[in-house]
Structure 1
């Protein structure tokens, strides 16, 4: 599993909060158990600070989860010693603050499911296609900053898809995203070729939702569903939704469940992977 201190610290903080609440203990009781203050415990639960090893062990035993001590301690050590891969891009223009957590969560995922309505997903974009999108989406940015955003997107692909333990990726893409000419016909043709290459990889599945599929649960917009490795617990994951105003992370199982249901319905309505490849080839020839 790849390491992201940013994502690990957030997960440890969130899980400590959930375990405390499920055990019925107040912050005051937890703080007393580690001989600390309520304010200090609050720092742990929002990810501002990580508890020391002994504090972490004491809290987990108090919360009735002694069997998870070793796992949490290993995560704490990874968070302390690791480095986020994207730090070299860390500037406000190239890497907005909201994106940092997402990049950390994504690189740790064991499975990535996504639904895209009008654009090819970022993990699959060619450099020319990404450049056209950045130019069109942020025309006021200086060329240097636009170039850095494209470099970041290409580096993201290498980090997520280029390792030995790459996640399983299943993308459902609207036919509209394949027919839209972004950057010109040659750029779009190159992008379609890239999709065909990626779809042949054993860990990547690409399905196209055709125009004739009718109404579906993805009508309210694109999203990504990132599932963590099994050692984090059953079906632990994050649904990520981005719009013009904000990004939202849904992490409670009850909030993530509707996204799991939606992606499964989209998969059932979309063309099979083999038929999707046939349609991508047909669109390529038509452009």
Structure 2
């Protein structure tokens, strides 16, 4: 179980319990005899709570029966290290939480309208994407920096999509435009499309193509990803992630996540089914000459 995802769940649940009990952060901090920043750091997944503080807080929130559950989750949150630490220089700050949630997810549902998602990209396609958008953070990246980011992306695929145990179920909806847009030219694009077709043979991957014939498909305003977590994350509504030019935005309120789920389900109904989508992808690959 990914430690970043565990810390996020603990923080969100403690915040939810505090608010349900009608306490603010100052009151919670006073109860454990510490600064308000200690509560803030716990609730924002920066730190794990100390065992003694955890018990006091859960009792203060009227949920002492949850102490054993939280104890176990804290124990799991202390185990292991995030796999991307060795890629530290290639990981912008905003991406740390994303990688943790992605690695810890039991199901990943995504809709992409511009490019093939990172979990499915070939190395050449990923290099071209990073080279094209290298100025996003104000300067052109060197080839060495791009290679580091591509290495990170390839490791993401091995860690998330291709891992042998507990791999998440991944359901991807791709707009036809993302498949026809020639990133890097016909040869790179053909290899990318063939890679997508290969991925559909994996038991944990489903891909649907949203064809141009569906028109504007109002269910989608842009690219988004929904993370759902293992059953141990009791009561977790999931997380929606939207990437922006300068970072990423996360939506975790139940009503927000529900809205994106409804949008995703509408897209599933509009898109070609997985079998027809695979045939469509292979036909496009043959056109890339």
TM-score, with structure 1 as normaliser:
0.92
Q: Does residue 241 of structure 2 align to residue 240 of structure 1? A: yes
Which residue pairs with 1:149 in the alignment?
149
Q: How does 1:1-287 map to 2 (within 5 A)?
A: 2-4=1-3, 6-91=4-89, 94-138=90-134, 140-163=140-163, 164-234=165-235, 236-287=237-288
Question: CA 1:39–1:86 in structure 2 vs 1: closer, same or farther (change >3 Å)?
Answer: closer
> How far off its partner does 1:174 sit?
0.5
Distance 1:234 1:275 in 2: 36
Distance 1:144 1:175 in 2: 32
Distance 2:211 2:57 in 1: 51
Distance 1:121 1:40 in 2: 37
Distance 2:7 2:37 in 1: 18
Distance 2:244 2:46 in 1: 26
> How far off its partner does 1:39 sit?
4.2
The CA deviation string for residues 203-231 of structure 1, in whole angstroms up to 9 with x for no partner, is 11000000001232444210000111122
Distance 2:153 2:202 in 1: 20
Question: CA 1:71–1:217 in structure 2 vs 1: closer, same or farther (change >3 Å)?
Answer: farther
Question: CA 1:73–1:114 in structure 2 vs 1: closer, same or farther (change >3 Å)?
Answer: same
Name the SS of the counterpart of 1:244 in structure 2. Answer: coil
Question: CA 1:234–1:12 in structure 2 vs 1: closer, same or farther (change >3 Å)?
Answer: closer
Question: CA 1:33–1:265 in structure 2 vs 1: closer, same or farther (change >3 Å)?
Answer: same
Question: CA 1:79–1:211 in structure 2 vs 1: closer, same or farther (change >3 Å)?
Answer: same
Segments of structure 1 that go 5 or more residues without pairing to the other structure are: none
Question: CA 1:64–1:269 in structure 2 vs 1: closer, same or farther (change >3 Å)?
Answer: same
Distance 1:31 1:243 in 2: 34
- Please list every run of at least 4 consecutive aligned residues from structure 1 whose deviation after the TM superposition is greater than 4 angstroms: none
Which piece of structure 1 moves more, 55-64 or 113-122? 55-64
Distance 2:236 2:189 in 1: 36
Distance 1:32 1:11 in 2: 23
Which piece of structure 1 moves more, 116-125 or 218-227? 218-227
Query: Residue 213 of structure 1 contacts residue 269 of structure 1 at CA under 8 Å; is this kept in 2?
Result: yes
Distance 1:234 1:8 in 2: 13
Segments of structure 2 that go 5 or more residues without pairing to the other structure are: none
Aligned residues: 283
Name the SS of the counterpart of 1:90 in structure 2. Answer: helix
What is the RMSD of the two structures over their aligned residues, measured on CA atoms? 1.7
